Chain A
Amino acid sequence: SQWGEENLQALSIQEGEDVTMNCSYKTYTTVVHWYRQDSGRGPALIILIRSNEREKRSGRLRATLDTSSQSSSLSITAAQCEDTAVYFCATEGSSNTNKVVFGTGTRLQVLP
């Protein structure tokens, strides 16, 4: 099946816990996007990490990128109920193709 065709993965954690979501991609990418999608809305970018970066932080969010293993991760520290959403990674092969392809996604539920 195509990347992104599978069912969303599901994670449920308690408020205050840390959580890490992983993304393995199949083809070369120059950048990994991480998006968050709230119910009934379009995705919105939360972190973008480029191939020359190993780690990127934004508030309680931390993204990593390992180009040798073609994988990226998104970590949320001290998760809060408002972090409940679906999280996607997306990749693009090069600036010449302009194609941005999304991964399967993780449905994260943070319980009070």
Chain B
Amino acid sequence: EAAVTQSPRSKVAVTGGKVTLSCHQTNNHDYMYWYRQDTGHGLRLIHYSYVADSTEKGDIPDGYKASRPSQENFSLILELASLSQTAVYFCASRPGGLWTLYFGAGTRLSVL
């Protein structure tokens, strides 16, 4: 079973503060993704990566940075957190293109 671990599981941040969400996978997967989910809505792609030290923009990258320092780790960084970034964030990995995504349990972020 593919394992994707997100930390923290929940976080409260202040407006204007810096937030880092972490994702770790032990599956030796090449691809990793960050999605956000607002209550009662679907998932929207923020950033993704298919190799260490390289990231790609998704559909809603504004206000977010991503970092892939190794194959196993993929971080999402909010340099200046805003109220509108309150959401649940999901990380996912997969072995290659056109294949299933394996999701973590999510990080619930509240920006106050």
Chain B interface bracket (under 10, 10 to 19, 20 to 34, 35 or more): 20 to 34
Residue-wise interface mask of B (72-112) relative to A, using a CB-CB cutoff of 8 A (1 in contact, 0 not):
00000000000000000010100001111101111000000
Q: Which residues of A contact B (CB under 8 A)?
A: 2, 4-8, 30-31, 33, 35, 40-45, 48, 50, 88, 90, 92, 95-96, 98-105
5 interchain residue pairs of minimum CB distance: A42-B103, A95-B97, A4-B42, A45-B100, A102-B43
Q: What A residues does B106 contact at CB under 8 A?
A: 40-42
Are B33's CB and A100's CB within 8 A? yes
Chain A residue nearest to B106 in the complex (CB) = A42
| Secondary structure of the A contact surface, majority rule | loop
What would 17 A/B residue contacts be, using CB atoms closer than 8 Å? A2-B59, A6-B41, A7-B41, A8-B41, A42-B106, A43-B43, A44-B103, A48-B99, A48-B100, A50-B98, A90-B101, A98-B48, A98-B56, A98-B97, A100-B33, A100-B101, A103-B42
Are A8's CB and B103's CB within 8 A? no
Are B100's CB and A42's CB within 8 A? no
Given contact pairs A2-B44, A95-B97, A100-B33, a sample of 14 additional A-B residue pairs in the complex whose CB atoms are under 8 Å apart? A5-B41, A40-B106, A41-B105, A42-B104, A43-B43, A44-B103, A88-B42, A90-B101, A92-B98, A98-B48, A98-B56, A100-B45, A102-B44, A105-B42
